[in-house]
């Protein structure tokens, strides 16, 4: 596989796709394919930028030296720190161009949201005080890949924010957090050694695994809480939810947890697609 595709971490991209799909379905007759496409471009390139930025920051700090998970470009020597940093800048630039275009079509307030999102993306593991090392990663993911991505996409197409759009952002945020959570469970032991106080480190192995399952449960509960009968279609994905939950709760560790990132991403995409169908029918 091309090293830059590897570094972009394709398995994490459902976190950027899912909220745009759901928000566009929720927009109903107000949906605008071009604005939706721009929102998707912003989300995808922001996610890719975050991944490259994390690769760079963790690489230069040396916290990825004995990594259990998928290969990192800087730590493995596949690319220099400067190259990965440049890749992050390019990804953020592409996201910014799409974001500026989208804001000009909808609201200039989205420019401010974009600036904050990029600052948060870089500050996750970058700088002298990375908040990702303090257990705030899931909070940031919920805000930006749940609330902001869903409500922002809905607003860009409809020109309004509704209570329903906020409720619909909850399952998207919960599932995006689950992607990060399964990563942090896998890396918990190594993260603790290098001083990364992720939620998984703070909670400990058993409680972190139960927390992962709680995020999946929250996604299903939030979908039902829309009180849209067709949202019950999301229960069709329950077998996959149970399968992933059992795998995590089984105590699987190390490299054996790597495939669960892909399965969690698959769960998020299928959940979002079914949820979107329910919203569209409604």
Name the residue among 223, 258, 259 with its Cα closest to residue 238.
223
For 29-82, write each residue's pLDDT tens digit.
899 999 999 999 999 999 999 999 988 988 887 776 666 666 778 888 888 989
The number of folded domains in the chain is 1
At residue 255, the pLDDT reads 80
At residue 1, the pLDDT reads 57
For 84-96, write each residue's pLDDT tens digit.
999 999 999 999 9
Q: Which domain holds residue 155?
A: 11-281
* 187-207 average pLDDT score: 87
At residue 66, the pLDDT reads 64
Cα(87)–Cα(48) distance, integer angstroms: 9
Which region, left, alpha or beta, applies to residue 195 given φ > 0 means left and ψ of -120 to 50 means alpha?
Answer: left
Residue 148, pLDDT > 90, answer yes
What single DSSP character describes residue 30? G
Give burial (CB, 10 Å; 0-12/13-18/19+) of 77.
exposed
Residue 186, pLDDT > 70, answer yes
Measure the CA angle with vertex 145, ends 255 and 22; round to 5°: 110
At residue 67, the pLDDT reads 63
Taken in order 220, 222, 225, 230, the sign of the CA dihedral is: negative
**Residue 216 lies inside a defined structural domain of this protein:** yes
**Residue 6 lies inside a defined structural domain of this protein:** no
At residue 254, the pLDDT reads 77
Name the residue among 278, 277, 35, 37 with its Cα closest to residue 158.
35
Separation of CA 58 from chain center: 18
Confidence of residue 120 (pLDDT cuts 50, 70, 90): very high
End-to-end CA distance of the chain: 42
Q: Greater confidence, 193 or 230?
A: 230
Q: Greater confidence, 62 or 23?
A: 23
Measure the CA angle with vertex 95, ends 93 and 96; round to 5°: 60
Q: Greater confidence, 253 or 224?
A: 224
Cα(165)–Cα(155) distance, integer angstroms: 9
Residue 139, pLDDT > 60, answer yes
Contact (CB, 8 A) for 252 and 270: no
pTM of the model: 0.92
Torsion of CA 108, 114, 119, 122, to 10 degrees: -160
Mean pLDDT of the chain: 91
Residue 264, pLDDT > 70, answer yes
Q: In this structure, what are the phi and psi dihedrals at residue 64, rounded to the nearest 5 degrees?
A: -105, 10
**Residue 94 lies inside a defined structural domain of this protein:** yes
Confidence of residue 173 (pLDDT cuts 50, 70, 90): very high
Q: Greater confidence, 251 or 107?
A: 107
Q: Measured between alpha carbons, how far is residue 205 from residues 90, 186, 202, 251, 265 in Å?
A: 36, 9, 9, 9, 21
Residue 265, pLDDT > 70, answer yes
Contact (CB, 8 A) for 275 and 23: no
**Residue 74 lies inside a defined structural domain of this protein:** yes
Contact (CB, 8 A) for 139 and 211: no
**Residue 1 lies inside a defined structural domain of this protein:** no
Collapsing DSSP to helix, strand or coil, 228 comes out as: coil
45-54, 62-71, 174-183, 236-245: least confident range:
62-71
Highest mean pLDDT among 35-44, 127-136, 182-191 belongs to 35-44
**Residue 199 lies inside a defined structural domain of this protein:** yes
């Amino acid at each position: 596989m091309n090293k830059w595709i590897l570094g972009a971490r394709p398995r994490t991209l459902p976190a950027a796709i899912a909220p745009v799909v759901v928000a566009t379905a929720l927009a109903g007759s107000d949906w605008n394919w071009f604005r939706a496409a721009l929102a998707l471009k912003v989300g995808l390139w922001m996610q890719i930028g975050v991944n490259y930025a994390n690769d760079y920051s963790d690489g230069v700090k040396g916290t990825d030296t004995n990594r259990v998970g998928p290969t990192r470009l800087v730590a493995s020597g596949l690319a220099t720190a400067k190259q990965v940093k440049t890749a992050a800048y390019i990804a953020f630039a592409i996201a910014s161009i799409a974001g500026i275009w989208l804001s000009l079509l909808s609201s200039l307030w989205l420019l401010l949201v974009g600036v904050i999102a990029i600052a948060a993306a870089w500050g996750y593991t970058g700088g002298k005080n990375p908040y990702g090392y303090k257990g705030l990663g899931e909070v940031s993911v919920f805000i930006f890949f749940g609330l902001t991505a869903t409500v922002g996409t809905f607003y860009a197409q409809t020109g309004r924010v509704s209570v329903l759009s906020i409720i619909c952002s909850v399952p998207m945020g919960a599932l995006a957090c689950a992607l990060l959570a399964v990563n942090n469970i896998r890396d918990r032991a190594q993260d603790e050694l290098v001083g990364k106080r992720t939620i998984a480190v703070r909670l400990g192995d058993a409680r972190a695994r139960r927390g992962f399952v709680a995020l999946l449960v929250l996604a299903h509960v939030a979908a039902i809480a829309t009180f849209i009968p067709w949202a019950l279609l999301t229960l069709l994905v329950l077998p996959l939810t149970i399968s992933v939950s059992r795998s995590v709760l089984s105590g699987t560790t190390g490299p054996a947890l790597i495939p669960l990132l892909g399965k969690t991403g698959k769960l998020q995409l299928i959940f979002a697609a079914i949820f979107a169908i329910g919203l569209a029918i409604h």
